Structure 1
Amino acid sequence: MAAIDTIRKRYQAAGQDHLFAFFPKLSDDERSAFIRQLESIDVDRVNKIYKKAVEAEKVVTDPKYVADPIEPLPVDACESVVNNPSNESKWRDAGLEAIARGEVGVLLMAGGQGTRLGSSAPKGCYDIGLPSHKSLFQYQAERIARLQTVAETTHDKPKGSVIIPWYVMTSGPTRKETETFFANHKHFGLNPKNVIIFEQGCPRLSVSGV
């Protein structure tokens, strides 16, 4: 219990002792997971960020506060493809060229559960009612696979040489189920080495399927 006592003292000093209210009711496995989660959090830094945010809010809500004017973006800072076929073609070509050079990756924020959809599973596993009954993860995976193929064809690359690494960020409660879902579906045809599933706030990345 030395470890938990040390951690608890740190959280008490930070004014967060209420987090331990139900600790005695947890199972041994739940306690271990809880302790690991607490150890991964820099609670002092969290408090500093919170304090800074609150102080900033007080400043901007002060009637005497005069904010800097928000200026429009320079004309050359953005472009639209709406009703502009030449722009659409230009940016499509630029995108495919970048993919062919290996300069493009996909980051998917997948930490939420589908509780509002009536499911405790990660949202990406959910059947959203498409005629194909594909999950969001499968839909995204197939789009990535298709882009790889199109980039290879467009730029005369050998089959399988173009890779778009897919980073899937989960939360603690969704990570294991997400990894299992991908494994059970054979990563939807993607190479497991190119599907990197990691947990938000975790300094280490793990390659799915390894």
Structure 2
Amino acid sequence: MPKTGGDATWALFQCVPDLVVRADDPLDPRKHASFAEEGIAETRYVLNLRRLPSQVLSWVQHTFANGRGRVPKGTWITPEEALEFRMPDQLLERYLDGGPGRDRIEVSDWLRMEHLRDDFIEFASTLRPLDAGDIDRIRRVITKPPMAYDHNPLTYFTPDQVEELYERNPTWARIETEVYGSLIPEEPADAVAATVAVPAAGTAAGALPEPLL
């Protein structure tokens, strides 16, 4: 799912290549295809997730740097304009759509971008035992470098705007609450900054921080 650490997840999978059946190259736009669009019908689905305000801020910054669709490069989207889009819920619903004649997809494993290495290790360990070398490679692999901007969403959105953003995207808000245990408005600003900038607790010495995109 765009702007939730997919390229970084691809890099982590390269540390355990025997677990990969097929993977789209990070430069291939097909990497953003949904399960239904890829014709994937499995009993276990895994999807990346990110705090909603951070996902939207990343999308705003990406659009400014690269353009998107009919929006030309260099266009700055204001917080007020960002609130008008239902893009996050529409995006999420696209990935949860099982396709014609199929049930809605139930994701069994969410990989939180803010805790990506830990979540990936936990998930991969359910596929096969990981040895110390596997874990060390996952902890140390260099992922996509971050874009240069302030990643704290509360420097872009006001607290009221964050609340409105969640209200306008109820599906994302519900899933984020289930996966993270709370929404960003319930946390102080310094805690929000920590969720996007500090490695997860228990990170091995010398390991790299979680990706910021």
> If the length of structure 2 is used for normalisation, what is the TM-score?
0.31
> If the length of structure 1 is used for normalisation, what is the TM-score?
0.32
Bigger relative CO (Cα 8 Å, ≥ 6 apart): 2
Q: Which has the larger radius of gyration?
A: 1
